[in-house]
Amino acid sequence: MKKIGFIGVGVMGKPMAINLVKAGYEVAAFDVDGSALKAVSDAGARKGASIAGAVKGAEVIITMLPNSPEVEEVVLGEGGVIESCSKGQILIDMSSIAPLVSRKVAEELAKKGVEMLDAPVSGGQEKAESGTLAIMVGGKQQVFDQCRELLEVMGGSVTLVGDIGAGETTKLVNQVIVAINIAAVAEGLMLGKKAGVDPERIVSAIAGGLAGSQCLNDKAPRMLEGRYDPGFRMRLHVKDLTNVLETSRALHTAMPLAASVMEMMEALLADGKTEEDHGALALFYEKLNSFSLKKG
């Protein structure tokens, strides 16, 4: 499968599409943002004048969009993928959306003989650029096997976790664990520094033990430097936690820690921290304690 239609080439989609081009895939891209589309076109992708232009002739259609409403509109809406796709094509939605929406979209595409995988990613812009994203996939084994090679161009780990919707559910679990972990790092380091212990030495001491984590390794240095340029933007994590809490309510699942961290992030958005890295959860603790984690 070498012909790809790629819809949504923003912060994450752009490097993903470019990596496919570099790997020898024929990519027809479409995005409502002309500057994003130009960047992908400059890298060797063909510009699609519309969704239909990206879908026509593609063996696999990839969507990388902000949230559930955009996926529904782009795939099922007027002028959407469903109007231009045909039997035998495969749609891979790599957006982070609600699992129930993935199932709805898959059901509608199936009526046209189009298979679907939901394949959200984790790792942020840096790993999208390096092609080392973690990709969590829901769908049929046969369809996954057909698409695995191209997914591995974009991901360092590609795992089939279950049927349609399972990929999105796994991404929600990922985002819960990451959010709580980042908050725990900030809360713990705040205690340590207020007690007069060097936070850098704390991190060195605990990184090799049970408290060690990728979040500790990646986010603690940012907190201690006061550096919150985005790896993964705060507003996007709030979007994901919104999907988490909506899904948990539908399933009657109590998630008090996720809800608490969501409140922290909402407070930061209210303070204008929408584009900062989600590691800026530390700023919530700094404001609450009137004390800075920043070294020096």
Q: What is the DSSP string of 274-286?
A: SSSBGGGHHHHHH
Does the CA dihedral 73-76-78-81 come out positive or negative? positive
The alpha carbon of residue 255 and the mean position of all alpha carbons in its chain are separated, in whole angstroms, by 21
Question: Among 100, 116, 124, which residue's Cα sits nearest to residue 16?
Answer: 124
| Tokens (6 digits) for 176 | 């819960």
Active site residues: 171
User: In whole angstroms, what is the distance from residue 112 CA to residue 91 CA?
Assistant: 12
Q: What is the DSSP string of 212-231?
A: --HHHHHHHHHHHHT----S
Question: Among 52, 50, 45, which residue's Cα sits nearest to residue 86?
Answer: 52
Task: Supply φ then ψ for residue 46, to 5 degrees.
Answer: -90, 135
Burial (CB < 10 A; 0-12, 13-18, 19+), residue 111, is exposed
Question: Among 245, 174, 255, 157, which residue's Cα sits nearest to residue 215?
Answer: 174
